[in-house]
């Protein structure tokens, strides 16, 4: 069997988008991923579904596997001819014990490659608005382990040089030894008034920053219950945070928001909220599936030359419709004789991605807006194809028929209840730590009520701001006893995100 290879990859400080392109390339071809406590689990999505995933971090505050066990595991998998990714928080060679793992691999004759990552000190300082160096303040920086000397009478750190050098000092893993380390710096000559910052869960929506001085930071940390994982930044550059702070000044920073869209739809909206600083909990209350059979839609697709209009009211309708078109061996050219109505700009963008520019985009993104636009046209004996969800409102086909059109409305996809709600979302609701929940269709709120029960849903959402994408969804919320706090004027996800920003800002 051919020898494998082990990639030691720096996962970065927490934000999954900070991993390097090379790191992602290696993850995509992994047979095995061995990952740490500080490596964001979202990065595992880059690995093939068939890849073996092995957690080698902490459980209950204690290491799941010792270093020797991890070394042996990497050697074992490498000898088995596997492509192994060792995913480590920060950078493998900066307090990541990557050197020890490379030594074990070299001794065993296993090929390895090291992929650097953004180390915690660099990520934490940047996201806290604290430059580690500054031409007018300091030209040097030192990275120091905060746990050094914990069980030793003597320290290997040159505290005199560290304290009197005047440069920035960053302690890793030093929250539990914070008081002792700060005291040592003062005892060895650093001014007690030197600014200090603690940065916890750096670069993530959970980031916390606590600022003080060498003299009082330990007391402040105890009073606030500040916990690991965190880095400690010591130096005059910390004072620049007041001017350069950016990450935690974003409008939704510190807000925990539930997104109830279907899994395949949630990504873009969740990313928009996260970019504004929110902690996003994805809680899909809809599962999209194919129709029980395609017979009616297939008949309509084969008769496309007979239709005058195709009305597509959502991105889902577009995707399922074109997916079926492709399955039947057709493409956008089959729509050459039809005019296309797109409900909303996002739907129009989806259609445009297939090379078709919609002929009509109603200014009102509700079903009523579609009917209003068509009422201005002569619809007598016009043939309309309306591919839709199984639970879509009947208003469009009924009203177009009333205007004289012949309407076919085959089911293109169905809405199902997911098997269960994510446990982390339920836990957050039970802890009363959720600030807002978003509903982007009537189905999302109705399904949540069906899964939780109306009474429990109302109890869990007490004190939680309810954001609805538009009046139809808002009516469904109110029918279930919910008070709607946020509703944008334009019924789009972008407008909903902007309305959340305004509400909390």
- Catalytic center residues: 36, 58, 173
Q: Where are the beta strands (DSSP E) in 368-482?
A: 383-385, 388-389, 406-408, 411-416, 436-439, 465-468
The rounded distance, in Å, linking the Cα atoms of 170 and 231 is 7
Tokens 């004027």 belong to: 489
Helix/strand/coil for 142 = strand
Asked if 159 and 269 count as a contact pair (C-beta separation under 8 A), the reply is no
CA angle 199, 203, 204 (to 5 degrees): 105
Classify the phi-psi angles of 277: left when phi > 0, otherwise alpha if psi is within -120 to 50, otherwise beta: left
Per-residue three-class SS string for 79-113: HCCCEEEEEECECCCCCCCHHHHHHHHHHCCCEEE
Closest CA to 85 of 52, 119, 123, 130: 52
- Helix (H) or strand (E) run with residue 354 in it: none
Using the Cα atoms of residue 430, residue 434, residue 435 and residue 440 in order, give the sign of their dihedral.
Answer: negative
**Taking the CB of residue 471, how many other CB atoms lie within 10 A of it?**
13
Task: Please report, for residues 126, 167, 170, 219, the alpha-carbon distance to residue 244 in angstroms, rounded to integers and kept in the order given.
Answer: 9, 19, 19, 25
The rounded distance, in Å, linking the Cα atoms of 119 and 143 is 10
Closest CA to 196 of 130, 122, 243: 130
Whats the size of the chain, residue-wise?
Answer: 505
Q: Helix H segments across 87-216?
A: 98-107, 120-128, 159-164, 178-187
**Taking the CB of residue 191, how many other CB atoms lie within 10 A of it?**
13
Backbone angles phi, psi at 242, to 5 degrees: -60, -30
Sorted by sequence, the CB contacts under 8 Å of residue 393 that are 6+ apart come out as 367, 472
The rounded distance, in Å, linking the Cα atoms of 111 and 121 is 29
Residues pairing with 407 in the sheet = 384
Residues pairing with 153 in the sheet = none
The rounded distance, in Å, linking the Cα atoms of 410 and 298 is 9
């Amino acid at each position: 069997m051919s020898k494998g290879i082990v990639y030691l990859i720096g996962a970065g400080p927490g934000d999954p988008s900070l991993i390097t392109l090379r790191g992602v390339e290696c993850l995509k071809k992994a047979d095995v991923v061995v990952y740490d406590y500080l490596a964001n689990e979202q990065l595992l999505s880059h690995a093939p579904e068939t890849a073996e995933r092995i957690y080698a971090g902490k459980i209950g505050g204690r290491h799941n596997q010792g270093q020797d066990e991890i070394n042996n595991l990497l050697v074992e998998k490498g000898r088995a001819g596997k492509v192994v990714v060792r995913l480590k928080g920060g950078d493998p060679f900066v307090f990541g014990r990557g050197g020890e793992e490379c030594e074990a691999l070299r001794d065993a004759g296993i090929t390895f490659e090291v992929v650097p990552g953004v180390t915690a000190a660099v990520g934490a300082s940047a996201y806290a608005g604290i430059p580690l160096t500054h031409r007018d303040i300091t030209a040097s920086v030192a990275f120091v382990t905060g746990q050094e000397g914990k069980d030793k009478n003597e320290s290997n750190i040159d505290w005199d040089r560290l304290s009197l050098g005047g440069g920035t000092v960053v302690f890793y893993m030093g929250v539990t030894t914070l008081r002792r380390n700060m005291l040592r710096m003062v005892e060895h000559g650093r001014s007690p008034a030197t600014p200090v910052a603690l940065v916890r869960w750096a670069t993530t929506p959970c980031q916390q920053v606590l600022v003080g001085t060498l003299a009082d930071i330990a007391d402040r940390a105890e009073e606030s219950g500040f916990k690991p994982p965190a880095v400690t930044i010591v130096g005059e550059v910390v004072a620049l945070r007041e001017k350069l702070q950016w990450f935690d000044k974003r409008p939704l920073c510190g807000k925990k928001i539930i997104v109830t869209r279907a899994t395949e739809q949630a990504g873009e909206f969740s990313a928009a909220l996260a970019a504004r600083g929110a902690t996003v909990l994805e809680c899909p209350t809809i599962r999209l599936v194919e129709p029980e059979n395609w017979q009616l839609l297939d008949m309509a697709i084969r008769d496309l030359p007979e239709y005058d209009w195709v009305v597509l009211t959502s991105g889902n309708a577009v995707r399922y419709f074109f997916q079926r078109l492709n399955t039947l061996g057709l493409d956008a050219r089959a729509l050459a004789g039809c005019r296309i109505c797109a409900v909303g700009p996002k739907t129009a963008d989806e259609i445009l991605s297939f090379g078709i520019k919609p002929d009509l985009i109603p200014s009102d993104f509700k079903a009523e807006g579609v009917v209003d636009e068509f009422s201005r046209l002569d619809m007598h004996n016009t043939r309309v194809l309306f591919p839709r969800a199984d639970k879509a409102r009947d208003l469009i086909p009924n009203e177009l028929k009333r205007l004289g059109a012949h309407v076919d409305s085959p089911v293109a996809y169905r809405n199902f209840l997911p098997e269960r709600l994510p446990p982390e979302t339920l836990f957050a609701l039970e802890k009363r730590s959720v600030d807002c929940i978003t509903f982007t269709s009537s189905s999302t709120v109705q399904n949540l009520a069906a899964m939780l029960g109306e009474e429990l849903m109302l109890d869990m959402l007490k004190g939680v701001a309810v954001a609805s994408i538009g009046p139809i969804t808002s009516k469904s919320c109110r029918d279930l006893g919910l008070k709607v706090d946020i509703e944008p004027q334009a019924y789009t996800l972008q407008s909903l995100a902007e309305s959340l920003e305004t509400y909390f800002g």
